[in-house]
């Protein structure tokens, strides 16, 4: 690099959050020459390398003074010797420098929220949320997932709202129940989106103000405010503020990074060339160079995984062709779940002739209508297809049974128990994990001895994995596959979704590979199920004949984790996600035979 450019020096602020990376570079006059905001999908070195290349292309050779902030940034700052400041300190620096009129600062990030009260002559009063993700961007993202829309679409929907409904925003787990209830009542998505924004505003104000007056001018900061204008409107309504009493600056999501850059400019030491920074990024250091706090691999190699599959006791449900050449009787089982609907047809020999599995997209009624239409379209002579018996189970049992005149409804646990007996007649324990619920059945001498279901915690459920896979930028199937071959799974403990975020961020700070984090989730799902939700005190309570079902167990790493923890050979069918519908159809056949 040439000496002719040695006078070019920039102060750089880097904000590495749980989901995004923000960078701001200021020249010696304090003018911004580069800024960016980008999701890192847990690939922080890769994202940083791409951004530094962009910066180099734009400004050329130079020297840099760097200060880092953010929930994930601390580990990187410590490993590479960069300065670090807390986000609220960095944000306060920006506000004091550029916005002296501000009385209250409200910031919302991906998994945290902050409030700063400014008063002349006094040190700023800083407040942060604790371990609850209610009132954060992650909470809003979870709502978008439930409504099957992109987060940005929530803003468009909320703008069309006409009514608000109460939603418990203190935790993403509890809110799902309220949102699902609104969905089942056919409340419009527009009203649900606006109700979520209103709940977030109330949660942030109640949890952070704690007796302090929120005085104008109120400064809004963070990605959710920058990209969701309707959210700011609901904050104004809750705080009873006029529009001119609020401030949302351009690039509000870059405020902490800007504060870091301002602080870096006053740091006379620690400069490095841009090429040195590129070298550091491409040669990241491990936090401690060992894996003392990691778990044993689920599979040591692909060969071991292949052997495991070939030796696994997988029950293949008998199948036959769906034919309507002549009048034929079939039996329909439906599992109307919280996030998906499953439909299954059996013939008189209890063979599967047809299945369908669809996400509810916020409307289980219309989803089932589409499934019936799909069945009709795939039937050559629909007039010859007779449903001799029908049974529905699941979250939407009452709705589907009433709307479509089903013969029977059955409790989910009984449907799953009936299906599980087909896999292992002498079973001792059944564990079913759905999108938001979990059922455990303890069996003794062929009869149910005890049943347990989760109540307010979804930490061992399918949405738990799905939420984090999406947060890290991976499809669920890919996330599950990579976890099977992780060599050093992270020990993420037994925590709920909210607390797990901090463990994931800690692992990311330590440089853990994504596959190690993914495998850690597999262990945590099982630990949460057994110890946190079911409160198992002795693993021998489960017996030796364990059957697992539910869509979550499409993920073989979770099956393997359960085997590792119980020492048992776990059995499952080739249709784990359809077992509720399968059990319902078997019940319909049984009742039909009893009638005749």
What average pLDDT does this structure show over 187-209? Answer: 91
- Which residues, at least 6 apart from 279, have a Cβ–Cβ distance to it below 8 Å? none
In sign, the C-alpha dihedral spanning 369, 375, 380, 382 is: negative
Question: 472-497: buried (b, 16+ CB within 10 Å) or exposed (e) per residue?
Answer: bebebeebbbbbbbbbbbbebebbbb
Q: What is the pLDDT of residues 135-183, one digit of tens each?
A: 677 778 777 877 878 888 999 999 999 999 988 755 555 566 678 778 7
Q: Which domains does the chain have, with CATH numbers?
A: 3-91+258-282 (3.30.420.40), 100-248 (3.30.420.40), 302-313+425-570 (3.30.420.40), 328-412+584-595 (3.30.420.40)
CB 11 within 8 A of CB 62: no
Q: Is the pLDDT of residue 559 over 80?
A: yes
pLDDT value of position 174:
53
pLDDT value of position 2:
41
| Residue recorded with tokens 């008189």 | 348
Give dist(CA 522, CA 529) in Å, integer: 11
Give dist(CA 154, CA 140) in Å, integer: 9
- The region that residue 240 occupies, defined by phi over 0 for left and psi between -120 and 50 for alpha, beta otherwise, is left
- Which residues, at least 6 apart from 51, have a Cβ–Cβ distance to it below 8 Å? 21, 23, 36, 38
* Tokens (6 digits) for 261: 């850059």
Q: What is the DSSP string of 425-436?
A: TT-SEEEEE-SS
Q: Is the pLDDT of residue 3 over 50?
A: no
Give dist(CA 62, CA 255) in Å, integer: 24
Rg (CA), the chain: 27
| Residue recorded with tokens 């079913």 | 432
Q: What kind and span of H or E run contains 39?
A: strand 32-39
* Tokens (6 digits) for 112: 């945290």
Q: How far is CA 558 from CA 433, 489, 563, in A?
A: 11, 13, 9
- Starting from the edge strand earliest in sequence, which strands make up the sheet with 340-346, in order? 352-359, 340-346, 328-336, 385-393, 408-409
pLDDT value of position 292:
63
Q: Is the pLDDT of residue 596 over 50?
A: yes
Q: What is the pLDDT of residues 514-523, one digit of tens each?
A: 899 889 888 8
- Name the pLDDT band for 5 (thresholds 50, 70, 90): very low
pLDDT value of position 564:
92
| Residue recorded with tokens 């946190």 | 532
What average pLDDT does this structure show over 15-32? Answer: 91
Q: How far is CA 472 from CA 246, 306, 514, in A?
A: 33, 27, 8
Q: Is the pLDDT of residue 361 over 90?
A: no
Q: What share of the chain has pLDDT > 90, as a percent?
A: 46
pLDDT value of position 4:
43
Helix (H, G, I), strand (E, B) or coil at 288: coil
- Name the pLDDT band for 463 (thresholds 50, 70, 90): low
What average pLDDT does this structure show over 564-583? Answer: 93
Residue 130 CB neighbours (<10 A): 7
- Name the pLDDT band for 257 (thresholds 50, 70, 90): very high
Mean predicted lDDT score pLDDT of the chain: 86
pLDDT value of position 73:
87
CB 74 within 8 A of CB 16: no
Q: Is the pLDDT of residue 556 over 70?
A: yes
What average pLDDT does this structure show over 219-245? Answer: 92
Give dist(CA 66, CA 85) in Å, integer: 11
CB 65 within 8 A of CB 265: yes
- Name the pLDDT band for 16 (thresholds 50, 70, 90): very high
Q: What is the pLDDT of residues 502-550, one digit of tens each?
A: 677 778 767 788 899 889 888 888 888 887 777 787 888 899 999 999 8
CB 301 within 8 A of CB 62: no
Helix axis angle for 189-209 and 229-239, nearest 10°, is 50
Q: What is the pLDDT of residues 419-436, one digit of tens each?
A: 999 999 999 999 988 766
């Amino acid at each position: 690099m040439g000496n002719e450019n040695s006078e070019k020096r920039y102060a750089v602020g880097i904000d590495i959050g749980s989901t995004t990376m923000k960078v701001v570079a200021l020249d010696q006059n304090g003018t911004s020459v580069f800024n960016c905001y980008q999701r890192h999908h847990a690939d922080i070195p890769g994202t940083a390398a791409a951004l530094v290349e962009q910066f180099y292309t734009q400004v050329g050779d130079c020297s840099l003074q760097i200060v880092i902030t953010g929930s994930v940034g601390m580990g990187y700052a410590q490993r590479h010797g960069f300065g670090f400041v807390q986000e609220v300190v960095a944000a306060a620096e920006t506000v004091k420098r550029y916005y002296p009129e501000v009385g209250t600062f409200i910031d919302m990030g991906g998994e945290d929220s902050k409030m700063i009260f400014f008063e002349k002559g006094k040190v700023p009063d800083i407040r942060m949320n604790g371990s609850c993700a209610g009132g954060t961007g992650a909470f809003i993202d979870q709502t978008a997932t439930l409504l099957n829309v992109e987060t940005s679409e929530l803003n468009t929907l909320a703008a069309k709202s006409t009514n608000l409904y109460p939603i418990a925003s203190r935790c993403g787990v509890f809110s799902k129940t309220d949102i699902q209830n609104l969905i089942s009542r056919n409340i419009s998505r527009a009203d649900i989106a606006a109700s979520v924004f209103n709940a977030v505003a109330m949660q942030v104000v109640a949890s952070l103000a704690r007796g302090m007056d929120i005085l104008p001018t109120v400064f809004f900061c963070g990605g959710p405010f920058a990209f969701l204008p309707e959210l700011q409107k609901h904050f104004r309504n809750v705080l009873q503020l006029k529009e001119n009493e609020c401030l949302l600056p351009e690039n509000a999501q870059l405020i902490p990074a800007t504060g870091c850059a301002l602080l870096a400019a006053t740091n006379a030491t620690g400069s490095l060339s841009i090429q040195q920074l590129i070298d550091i990024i491409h040669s990241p250091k491990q936090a401690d160079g060992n894996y003392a706090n990691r778990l044993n691999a689920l599979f040591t190699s692909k060969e071991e995984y292949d052997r495991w599959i070939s030796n696994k006791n997988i029950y293949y449900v008998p199948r036959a062709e769906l034919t309507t050449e002549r009048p034929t009787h079939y039996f329909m089982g439906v599992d109307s779940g919280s996030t998906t609907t499953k439909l299954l047809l059996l013939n008189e020999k209890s063979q599967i002739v047809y299945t369908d599995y669809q996400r509810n997209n916020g409307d289980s009624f219309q989803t089932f209508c589409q499934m019936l239409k799909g069945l009709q379209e795939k039937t050559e002579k629909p007039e010859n297809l007779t449903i001799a018996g029908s049974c529905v189970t699941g979250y939407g049992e009452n709705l589907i049974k009433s709307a479509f005149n089903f013969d029977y409804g059955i409790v989910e646990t009984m449907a799953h128990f009936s299906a599980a007996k087909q896999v292992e007649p002498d079973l001792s324990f059944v564990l079913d994990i759905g999108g938001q619920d979990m059922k455990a059945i303890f069996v003794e001498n062929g009869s149910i001895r005890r049943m347990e279901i989760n109540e307010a915690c979804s930490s061992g459920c399918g949405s738990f994995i799905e939420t984090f896979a999406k947060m890290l930028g991976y499809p669920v199937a890919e996330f599950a596959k990579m976890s099977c071959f992780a060599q050093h799974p992270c020990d993420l403990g037994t925590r709920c979704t909210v607390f797990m975020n901090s463990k994931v961020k800690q692992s990311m700070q330590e440089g853990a590979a994504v596959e190690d984090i993914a495998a850690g989730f597999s262990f945590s799902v099982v630990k949460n199920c057994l110890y946190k939700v079911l409160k198992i005190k002795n693993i021998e309570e489960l017996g030796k004949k364990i059957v697992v079902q539910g869509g979550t167990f499409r993920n073989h790493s979770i099956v393997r984790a359960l085997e590792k923890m119980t020492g048992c050979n776990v059995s499952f069918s080739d249709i784990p996600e359809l077992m509720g519908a399968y059990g319902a159809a078997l019940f319909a056949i049984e009742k039909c035979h009893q009638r005749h």
